[in-house]
Amino acid sequence: MSFYDKDIVSIRDLDRKQIEEIIETAERMVPYALGEKRTKVLEGRILGNLFFEPSTRTRLSFESAAHRLGIDVIDVSEMSATSISKGETLADTIRMVDAYCDIIVLRHPHEGAARLAAKFSENPVINAGDGAGSHPTQTLLDLFTIKRAKGRIDGLNIVLVGDMKYGRTVHSLVDALAMFGANLTFVAPETLQMPADHVEHVKRRGADPKLTDKLEGAIRDADVLYVTRIQRERFPDPSEYNKVAGTYRIDNEMLREAKKDLVVLHPLPRVDEIDPEVDGTPHAKYFEQAFNGIPVRMALLYMILGGSGL
């Protein structure tokens, strides 16, 4: 199956077999991601890392992944540092970066920006998060983490809690989990529940998600608890954010009724949804999850840029 020159705009662009191939390749990348093995397999290539919204994990792990493969990186982390601030369009900006690089990674505040970039770029574009739209590479590292922790994804009880409305990570993740036959529960305040089109989409893939605002009952049977931050920056009205802020907070007391091998994940950053006391428990896998961004993004760069021999 060839990934050569492929855009990764939405997780819906990939089928289950392709996702499994990425997960398998990422497993081979782990010793390189850890620095235990060295390679310059993609030396001479250039990655354009365009981040027009704040990021720690995605931006730095793409950069680290590129360096681990011998790829050079051009990094832009503010729109104001580009000629967009003079009125240049995103389309023209992408045309320029396309001329200077072999692959573009784009984070942008507007949903659909990565799809537009893919249209104007000859070289492949990877969506690193577009507004409240999607975040496909986060989903790939989430799946990789679940597979490593539980040995499978099929048939697991996966509870997603927090902001189902504006959280782009959950929008991408539920599509993929439905593809893998996981049992899904969405826990959110009524105003932040999963948008109907995503619910319909996962149903079309054969899932039968439960929607609730009660976390306590859902946690008992969960194999994976995927916690998300309420996305304050996406609320048109700050008073609406204040009504739902702090609705859910995972602490050790709450985890007492959970399965012993429950895995707690979070795409991070967290604000107050997971008490730091959980960090020291065997449930906490979210920092490992963040590290997994490196081997997964290495796998994507390697496959899309036509690497071989690793």
Number of residues that bind ligand CP (CB under 6 A): 9
| CB contact at 8 A, 274 and 264 | yes
CB of 122 to ligand CP, least distance (A): 26
Q: Taking CB under 6 A as the rule, does residue 8 contact ligand CP?
A: no
* Residues in 48-67 at the binding interface with ligand CP, rule: CB under 6 A: 55-58
Q: Taking CB under 6 A as the rule, does residue 228 contact ligand CP?
A: no
Q: 281 burial class (0-12, 13-18, 19+ CB within 10 angstroms)?
A: exposed
The secondary structure of residue 105, as a DSSP letter, is: E
Q: Taking CB under 6 A as the rule, does residue 172 contact ligand CP?
A: no
Nearer to ligand CP, 232 or 259 (CB): 232
Cα separation, 8 vs 3, in Å, equals 10
Q: Taking CB under 6 A as the rule, does residue 89 contact ligand CP?
A: no
Nearer to ligand CP, 129 or 136 (CB): 129
Q: Taking CB under 6 A as the rule, does residue 145 contact ligand CP?
A: no
Q: Taking CB under 6 A as the rule, does residue 267 contact ligand CP?
A: yes
Residues 126, 138, 169: CA angle, nearest 5 degrees = 110
Q: Taking CB under 6 A as the rule, does residue 77 contact ligand CP?
A: no
Cα separation, 36 vs 298, in Å, equals 15
Nearer to ligand CP, 23 or 173 (CB): 173
Per-residue CA distances from 304 to 101, 168, 187, 240 (Å): 14, 23, 36, 42
Question: What residues line the site for ligand CP (CB under 6 A)?
Answer: 55-58, 129, 138, 267-269
